[in-house]
Amino acid sequence: MSPAVQPAPSGITSVRWASSAELAARRVMLTPVETHGSTAVVVVDRTGTIQYWSAGAALLFGHDNPTGESLDVIVPEQYRERHWGGFHRAMATGESAISGGRLNIPVRCADGEAKAFPGTFSVVRDAFGRPVGAIGVWNRRRGDEEPFSPVADDHGDGRP
């Protein structure tokens, strides 16, 4: 169901969608997060379409600006099935086994190579607590990080 036809939450009689100018203003609010060029910030909507791509993401990953494209641009092929299973589960439930944790997250860089960068992932929620997307923040490796290992799925449902 697209956001335009979702029913309003109980007790809400009307829903006003943000204008393009309001959305642009919200994107501007993310710029203080970028403390330096080695910090990558990527924001996606609930479909996994990139809505915000920081200058640090372009420097770190090598992709110029894939705004409007799928996260498949940066998710290495060997991790896509697991990634999308977890992503869709997080968008449906608002919960993620990796949300807020600091991980070495593999990214497919513009040169085609998959490289792990230390980063974090969090579900983004609207004013009613519903998941509306996600934000990922990565930093340049310092050299003391553990290598990437996927979250163990001991339950067969995406939970560690």
In sequence order, which residues have a C-beta less than 8 Å from that of residue 64 and are 6 or more positions away?
58, 110
Note the pTM of the prediction, 2 decimals: 0.69
Q: What is the CA radius of gyration of the chain?
A: 16
- Fold classification of 23-139 (topology level): Beta-Lactamase (3.30.450)
Residue 105 · residue 121 · CB < 8 Å? yes
What are the structural domain ranges in the chain?
Answer: 23-139
Per-residue pLDDT, 140: 78
- In the sheet that holds 131-139, the strands lie side by side as 50-53, 39-45, 131-139, 114-125, 102-108
Q: Name which of 154, 151, 86 is nearest 123 in CA terms.
A: 86
What is the residue-level pLDDT of the chain in tens, covering all 160 positions? 444 444 444 444 444 455 555 555 454 444 444 445 678 999 999 999 999 999 999 999 999 999 999 999 999 999 999 999 999 999 999 988 877 777 888 899 999 999 988 888 899 998 888 999 999 998 876 655 555 554 444 444 444 4
